[in-house]
Amino acid sequence: MDNLWIAALDPADRKRIEPHLTERPFAQGQMLYDAGEAVEEVWFPMSGVVSLMTLVDEDRMIETAAIGREGLVGVTCGPLNARAASRAIAQVDGVSACCPADVFADALSHSERMRTALSKFTESLFAQVQQAAACNAQHRLDERLARWLLTIHDRADADRFALTQSDIAGMLGVRRATVSEVGSALEEKGLIRRGRGWVEVLDRKALEKASCGCYALMRGVMKDLGVPRPSTPAH
């Protein structure tokens, strides 16, 4: 099992959900569910990245959290029978194991260990949401961009991943021209390389130094909670 959250469960707990899992690919830009919708499936990414988007107004939204193979998507907005408070959109192509929400709810009701594992993950996710809000309000765009690229890099399984200037601008809630300008500065320093529809991380350590402290803080929260921390195979 490539999903780290499921892999960390006890064998008995994995057996509660594994027979009900269906493997399903998702493509960049695909909406897994929208704000206000009832979430009927729990998604366990095995590769790729899913962004949780908070709607600012009718035409704009901003990313408040990113989830990869370290976690799950679909039970992070409230109780299992609640309507989603955010929009879940695939940011990087991937594959997920999907479980009916009622099956997952039943498994949780029979296992305190699973409830604890879920609580730890949601606590780390909510901390990510809070940190992202503070970061967006207080830090320079170049620091925010470096932090965001590191977050995607951890979950993308490769140094190069498909992203357009519009994608990045939408995630950070800024104009495309502004992202282009700041991205050029990181590229001139040799931290990243960009092409038409893609970004490649060239110097991971330098990118970490260019980031604000929010990235390291969130990695520390995950470590303290004992939840799986995603990372690219080479790092």
* Residues 62-91, mean pLDDT to the nearest whole number: 80
Asked if residue 201 has pLDDT above 90, the reply is: yes
Which pLDDT value is given to residue 235? Answer: 52
- Residue from 133, 91, 99, 93 nearest 118 by CA: 99
For the stretch 86-139, pLDDT in tens is: 889 999 999 999 999 999 999 999 999 999 999 999 999 988 888 888 888 888
Which pLDDT value is given to residue 77? Answer: 46
Which pLDDT value is given to residue 220? Answer: 92
Which pLDDT value is given to residue 55? Answer: 76
- Residue from 75, 48, 218 nearest 133 by CA: 218
Which pLDDT value is given to residue 58? Answer: 67
As a whole-number percent, the residues of the chain with pLDDT over 70 amount to: 94
Confidence of residue 1 (pLDDT cuts 50, 70, 90): low
- Residue from 90, 47, 98 nearest 74 by CA: 98
